Structure 1
Amino acid sequence: MFVKRVLVGAVLAALCSGCATGLNSHQKVEYTRYEAKGLLVEEKNPGTGAALGLLPGGGSFYGREYGFGVINLLLWPLSILWDPVSGYDAAKSINYQATRASIEAKEEKELNALDDQLKTGQIDVAAYTLEKRKIDRKYGTD
């Protein structure tokens, strides 16, 4: 009876916390482009996430999916079938979100500096437009 309650509680915790779904197709394209441009921020190593997925709940805990990690801990060794993938996907998702936040902050900082140059008369509208295009190309994924 106690084991059944613990299992039901663990399942509910996992459902409430969700699991790493990975990146959608658009995000995968952006991730690849950020990586190619050298803009990718790597907070978590996807290979480490996959390797830790072989340990009880390791991939999920590494990917900050604590509720799912508890479930995988309880279902180990069966969780070896999916937790490495979960750890890998979660690490990539964390890196994607960190990269997006970093890029947005850097782009905003550069655009604010450019706006200040225009306001103070250091550059004209034509120079402003050219510099803004450079910033857009630098941080864009197109």
Structure 2
Amino acid sequence: MKAHRLILAAGLAVACTGCATGLNSHQKAELRQYEARGQAVQEKNPGTGAALGLLPGGGSFYGREYGLGVVNLLLWPLSILWDPVSGHDAAEAINYHATKEHLRGEREKELSTLDSNLQTGQIDMTQYTLEKRKIDQKYGIN
């Protein structure tokens, strides 16, 4: 009976692990570009997420994956095989989405200022077009 529960719990953990919100290869490359340009927002430290994954459910809880954290808590110490990776990947995903949202907001502010300058006659359409291109390049829109 105990072995049956352990197998059921392990199956549940494997099923939940597939629900983890890691980044795809394109998103990882995009995050690396933001980091290289100094634009990345770091809400969570991936190294901390991985280290906390050695504790019962720690990596998942740190990465805001509470359901998986409970499963990993119940399966500890077996969960140390996958929870450090889950904690690392979740922290990266949080940072990626925080960066995208931050940059979206910054771009919108700059475009709003640019639009105001055009409307008030501080710049002409040629200057507007040049400045908009610079903003688009700054935020990775080609």
TM tier, shorter chain? 0.7 to 0.9
**2:30 matched to 1:43?**
no
Output the CA distance in 1 between the equivalents of 2:47 and 2:79: 17
Q: CA deviation at 1:26?
A: 1.0
Amino acid across the alignment from 2:66: Y
Amino acid across the alignment from 1:81: L
Q: CA deviation at 1:29?
A: 1.2
Q: CA deviation at 1:137?
A: 1.0
Q: CA deviation at 1:67?
A: 0.2
Deviant stretches of 4+, over 3 Å: none
Output the CA distance in 2 between the equivalents of 1:100 and 1:67: 25
Q: How many residues align?
A: 137
Q: So what's the TM-score if we normalise by structure 2?
A: 0.87
Structure 1 residues without counterparts, runs of 5 or longer: none
Output the CA distance in 2 between the equivalents of 1:18 and 1:69: 13
* Offset from partner CA, 1:111-136 (integer Å, 9 cap, x none): 01100100111100110011111111
> 1:11-26 residue pairs with structure 2 within 5 A?
11=12, 15=16, 19-26=19-26
Q: CA deviation at 1:38?
A: 0.3
Amino acid across the alignment from 1:64: R
Output the CA distance in 2 between the equivalents of 1:18 and 1:65: 12
Structure 2 residues without counterparts, runs of 5 or longer: none
Amino acid across the alignment from 2:130: L
| 1:133 counterpart SS class | helix
* CA RMSD, 1 decimal: 2.3
Q: Contact 1:19 / 1:86 at 8 angstroms: preserved in 2?
A: no
> 1:1-142 residue pairs with structure 2 within 5 A?
11=12, 15=16, 19-140=19-140
* Offset from partner CA, 1:16-53 (integer Å, 9 cap, x none): x9742311011011101000110000000000000000
Percentage of matched positions with identical amino acids = 70
